[in-house]
């Protein structure tokens, strides 16, 4: 596996740089890319990852990405009595920023929430724990969402922000099938694959990012993302029929799924 203990080594970065150059020659938006993001390497750690997490939090805040998830949470909360305790999981939690935002929102609305961040990269979980120490209602697990350990857990709401595009269609069918049994509601906030989204994020990250990982992964994330037809097909194969799928700025899909009453 590749390793990034600090700033990426020349060999480590060049492997990805070559791939990126090939993609730049001819970009295909007709189907989801199967290219691997640097973030997919679960051994990736060090300052390069920390810088990436900081920049992703900034991007989600200023491009409105967090709003898409929060709108969905608020719409669900309207249907749930305030006195009802809620167990909420954030898949691919990254820095834990979304959990901290939800915790503050719950406190403002006098809701009792228990929040759990899930990330398969133990180094990222360590970063999230460090930055969430002041939140007693937030905990973290370093576990794969495909593991039996995770599948045995139940939640009221499952969040997945910029997480689902990391997986192939077949894996997503399996994951959605499992999540609908584990939770009452599933919220997915992910990218709409579109040329404008690709070229915009490529330009922005080249101009403003200091993270080699962000510069490589951000455009590739768009290529690995979804069209509306693809999402509908994945949900159909997962046996999911009750859902709301809406396009949101900037090039985001907001998906709300009604799971089982667990």
Residue 3 covered by a domain: no
Q: What is the DSSP annotation of 158-195?
A: EEEES-GGGS-HHHHHHHHHHHHHHEEEEEEEEEBP-H
57, 178, 206 from 219: Cα distances, Å: 16, 29, 10
3-state secondary structure of 260: coil
The string of pLDDT tens digits covering residues 238-261 is: 999 999 999 999 999 999 999 876
Distance separating alpha carbons of residues 66 and 70, to the nearest angstrom: 6
3-state secondary structure of 227: coil
pTM for this entry: 0.88
Neighbour order of strands in the sheet with 86-91? 138-141, 113-118, 86-91, 155-161, 183-191, 252-258, 243-248
Q: Environment class of residue 196 by beta-carbon count within 10 Å: exposed (0-12), middle (13-18) or buried (19+)?
A: exposed
Give the percent of the chain with pLDDT over 90: 80
The string of pLDDT tens digits covering residues 130-159 is: 999 999 999 999 999 999 999 999 999 999
Total domains in the chain come to: 1
Residue 197 covered by a domain: yes
CB atoms within 10 A of CB 133: 8
Residue 123 covered by a domain: yes
Mean residue pLDDT across the chain: 89
Q: Which runs of consecutive H residues, i.e. helices, occur in 63-151?
A: 65-77, 97-108, 122-130, 148-151
Which residue is associated with the tokens 């799924």? 257
* pLDDT of residue 168 exceeding 60: yes
Residue 55 covered by a domain: yes
CA atoms within 13 Å, Cβ hemisphere of 69: 29
Residue 1 covered by a domain: no
CATH code of 188's domain: 3.40.50.150
* The pLDDT value given to residue 12: 35
CB–CB of 11/176 below 8 Å? no
The string of pLDDT tens digits covering residues 61-101 is: 777 789 999 999 999 999 999 999 999 999 999 999 999 99
CB–CB of 136/112 below 8 Å? no
Please give the average per-residue pLDDT across 26-54, as a whole number: 91
More confident residue, 11 or 34: 34
The string of pLDDT tens digits covering residues 1-26 is: 333 333 333 333 333 343 444 444 58
Residue 27 covered by a domain: no
Distance separating alpha carbons of residues 80 and 111, to the nearest angstrom: 10
Which DSSP symbol is given to 37?
P
Range(s) of the domain holding residue 62: 37-258
């Amino acid at each position: 596996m590749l390793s990034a203990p600090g700033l990426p080594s020349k060999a480590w970065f060049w492997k990805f740089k070559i791939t990126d150059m090939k993609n730049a020659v001819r970009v295909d938006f007709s189907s989801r890319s199967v290219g691997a993001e640097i973030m997919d390497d679960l051994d990736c750690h060090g300052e390069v990852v920390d810088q990436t997490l900081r920049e992703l939090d900034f991007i989600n805040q200023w491009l409105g990405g967090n709003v898409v998830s929060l709108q969905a949470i608020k719409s669900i909360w309207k249907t749930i009595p305030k006195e009802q305790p809620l167990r909420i999981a954030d898949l691919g939690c990254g820095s834990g920023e979304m959990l901290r935002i939800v915790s503050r929102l719950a406190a403002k609305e006098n809701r009792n929430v228990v929040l759990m961040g899930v990330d398969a990269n133990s180094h990222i979980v360590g970063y999230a724990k460090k930055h969430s120490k002041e939140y007693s209602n937030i905990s973290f697990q370093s576990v794969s969402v495909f593991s039996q350990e995770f599948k045995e857990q139940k939640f009221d709401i499952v969040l997945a922000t910029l997480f689902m595009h990391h997986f192939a269609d077949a894996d997503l069918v399996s994951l959605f099938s499992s999540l609908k049994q584990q939770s009452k509601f599933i919220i997915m906030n992910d990218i709409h694959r579109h040329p404008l989204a690709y070229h915009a994020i490529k330009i922005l990250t080249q101009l403003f990012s200091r993270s080699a990982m962000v510069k490589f992964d951000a455009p590739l994330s768009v290529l690995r993302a979804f069209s509306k037809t693809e999402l509908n097909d994945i949900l159909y194969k997962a046996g999911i029929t009750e859902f709301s799928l809406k396009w949101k700025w900037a090039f985001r899909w907001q998906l709300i799924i009604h799971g089982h009453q667990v």
